[in-house]
A and B are shown apart, each in its own frame.
Chain A
Amino acid sequence: MAKYILKRIGYMIITLWVVATITFVLINAIPGDPISASAGKVLDKKVAAEIMKKYKLDQPEYVRYGTYISDLVHGDMGMSIHYPGQKVNDIIAKEFPVSLRLALQAVTIGIVFGIVLGIIAAFKRNTWVDYTVIFIALIGVCVPGFVLAILLQYGLGAKFGLKIAGWSAKSLFDIYRYSLLPSIALAMAGLASNARFMRTSVLEVINQDYVLTAKSKGVGKVSLVWKHIIRNAILPVVTMIGPRIAYVITGSLVVESIFSVPGLGRELVSAISNRDYTVVMSLTVFFAFLYIVSLLIVDIVYVLVDPRIKLTQRKG
């Protein structure tokens, strides 16, 4: 197990390096220098000079690249140009917890509700319960997340005056109240997909021979469903959770913006529109880092859950 994790971490580092390099190359391919490109900001001469020095913008590219990589390795994510003086590390420290909470809530809702709905739909096949779940699943998959988010925001939030739009971190209750809608918006695609997948998986497992064997032993309904059916049906769904993380990350960009949640997603979006390239660069690498780490976690979970997978086996 340890060897496997080490190997994965090795891959992680390589990938992050590739991402950082690609990011650097692309950002530097943008015509003009970052300072003048910073949208609509005229910088104080002294501040501009400081930034020039910090980023060695007057130096040739390979020097800048070296500095960039060494900074990253030391955990220094640089500074914002649009808001000079603001360190990206601080931004991350302040806003990452917000995004993390939202993401965790969304993933939990997506997994728990998705799987439960999928199971119910499978057992009540071809009844109105089934059709409702399928309907919800279709909506979640086909209506783009941001459309749903906008509908929720304006529909439930503004139009009906329910105090669940906006953001305030004054109390725990407040936090839950305001994060409810964005979490749901973020969770929908995952929920829908999980429900559909789980339903199919359960239907497949129900027809398997070993379920018949269990029945022939006189196994009770509860035991049958839990130990024999769900235990096996859940495996393929777990594999799908990995890619789902990517959707949550990209989805957060949009959902946070729509609901004005002060998280990293919204930060990245405004950095893009402000052409704050240093921030864009650093956040990009950070997001890549998050994505790769979560993939590793999911893979480990899967290995623990399915006895048939040996660690040396990698699905190609």
Chain B
Amino acid sequence: MKKYSKDLFKIIGYSNKDLDVMVRPNVSYWQDAWRRLKKNKVAMVSMVLLIIIIIMSIIGPMIASVNYQTQNYDLLDKNPMAKHWFGTDNLGRDLFGRLWMGARVSLRIGFIGTLIELLVGCVYGGICGYFGGVVDTILMRIVEVIVSVPYLIVVILLLLVLPKGEGTIIIALCITGWTGIARLIRGQVMQLKESDYVLAAKALGASPTRIIAKHLIPNTIGIILVYMSMDIPAFIFDEAFLSFLGLGIQSPKTSWGALIFDGQSQMMFHPHEFIFPAIAISVTMLAFNLLGDGLRDALDPKLRQ
């Protein structure tokens, strides 16, 4: 048997210092979410890509060689060249400038539309969730009827009736789209109303404002952010679709959808007129989707590390 000295065997017990050693540093929810997002390379690349696209949409038309509406009959349907980086279209207009002007329109529709939907949806859903009871039942029935109407049909009809343009498109797309976010918010509010920690907060005497600020908003912002990142590309897609039907942005103004529509007829011989806007839209939608996925993973409290 090994020999041990006697004084190794004096009882000393433990100190509180020993206990604290075992605890890992505390990280707030947002810090943790941001850290997780940063680790997700794909999402970060998407975010950077989107920022680049947004910047380009602002400066693109400015650095183009000519105004996007100028028609040059000497340079019809030209391939990419020194003066026109993306070539020209069938009316001799510079595609580079047009693409980024179109970007402005498409992105604006996406962002503004989403924001409007969010506002309406949040208020509506918040009221339903907070008051519950009869108010909730009536309001939700209305939502159900709205939802069962296939929305694109309403959109098309509206666009036939109202004058075409960016504003009309936004309104038409928003009219039925807000129901999604309304339901989400309503669900969140109801869940939080009943949740244990809100009850605990109330029991501790927290005021409603405090509860809303500290509990409701942080929990819903995550969902809202994810929803936004999925909704914006949906708007862009829908606008493109409508332009394809001839109901979208009219010449000389342009959007990505309109560009694709124009480019389609030139596919056989001048595919660049179609390819560039097609790539632009696809990449943007891809970036939004990947960022949305990344956000969803980063903000999911169950995956906290």
Direct contact of A and B (CB under 8 A): yes
- Which residues of A approach B to under 8 Å, CB–CB? 11, 14-15, 18-19, 22-23, 26-27, 29-30, 138, 141-144, 146-147, 150-151, 154, 158, 246, 249-250, 253-254, 258, 269, 272-273, 280, 284, 287-288, 291-292, 295, 316
A18 touches B157 (CB 8 A): no
Residues A142 and B233 in contact in the complex (CB < 8 Å), given A15-B148, A26-B160, A150-B267: yes
- The answer to whether A288 and B150 touch across the interface, beta carbons within 8 angstroms, is yes
A291 touches B150 (CB 8 A): yes
**A242 → chain B, closest Cβ, in Å?**
11
Residues of A within 8 A of B264 (CB): 150, 258
Interface string of B219-260 (1 = CB under 8 A from A): 000000000000001000100110011110000000000001
Inter-chain residue pair count (beta carbon < 8 A)? 98
Report whether A144 and B237 are in contact in the complex, using a CB–CB cutoff of 8 Å. yes
Residues of A within 8 A of B289 (CB): 138, 141-142
A151-B183 Cα distance, complex, nearest whole Å: 37
Residue of B148, B149, B233, B282 near A22 (CB, 8 A) is B149
**When A22-B149, A143-B282, A316-B183 are in contact, do A272 and B268 touch as well, CB less than 8 Å?**
no
Nearest CB on A from B290, distance (A): 8
CA distance A277 to B52 in the complex (A): 44
Interfacial chain B residues near A23, Cβ < 8 Å: 153, 157
The reply to whether B148 and A295 contact each other, CB–CB distance below 8 Å, is yes
Nearest residue in B to A295 (C-beta to C-beta)? B148
Q: State whether the Cβ of B286 lies closer than 8 Å to any Cβ in chain A.
A: yes
Interface of B with A (CB < 8 Å)?
140, 145, 148-154, 156-158, 160-161, 183, 233, 237, 240-241, 244-247, 260, 264, 267-268, 271, 274, 278, 281-282, 285-286, 289-290
A14 to B148 CA separation, bound complex (whole angstroms): 10
With A142-B285, A144-B237 given, is the CB distance from A154 to B268 under 8 Å?
A: yes
**Residues of A with C-beta under 8 A to B233:** 142
Closest residue of chain B to A314, judged by CB? B144
Give which listed residue, A30, A151, A250, A287, contacts B241 with CB less than 8 A.
Answer: A250
**By the criterion CB–CB under 8 Å, are A253 and B245 in contact?**
yes
Given contacts A15-B148, A15-B149, A26-B161, could you give 8 more A-B pairs where the C-beta distance is less than 8 Å?
A: A27-B160, A27-B161, A141-B289, A142-B286, A246-B150, A250-B150, A272-B245, A280-B160
| Cross-chain contact A146 with B140 (CB below 8 angstroms) | no
What is the CB-to-nearest-CB distance from B16 to chain A, in angstroms, rounded to a whole number?
A: 38
Q: Are B241 and A254 in contact (CB under 8 A)?
A: yes
Complex Cα distance, B268 from A151, in Å, reads: 11
Query: With a CB–CB cut-off of 8 A, which chain B residues contact A11?
Result: 148
Partner of A272, one of B156, B241, B281: B156
Chain A to chain B contacts (Cβ below 8 Å), 20 pairs: A15-B148, A23-B157, A27-B157, A138-B286, A138-B290, A142-B285, A143-B278, A144-B281, A144-B285, A146-B240, A147-B278, A147-B282, A150-B278, A154-B271, A158-B268, A254-B245, A273-B246, A280-B160, A284-B156, A287-B150
Chain A residue nearest to B140 in the complex (CB)? A316
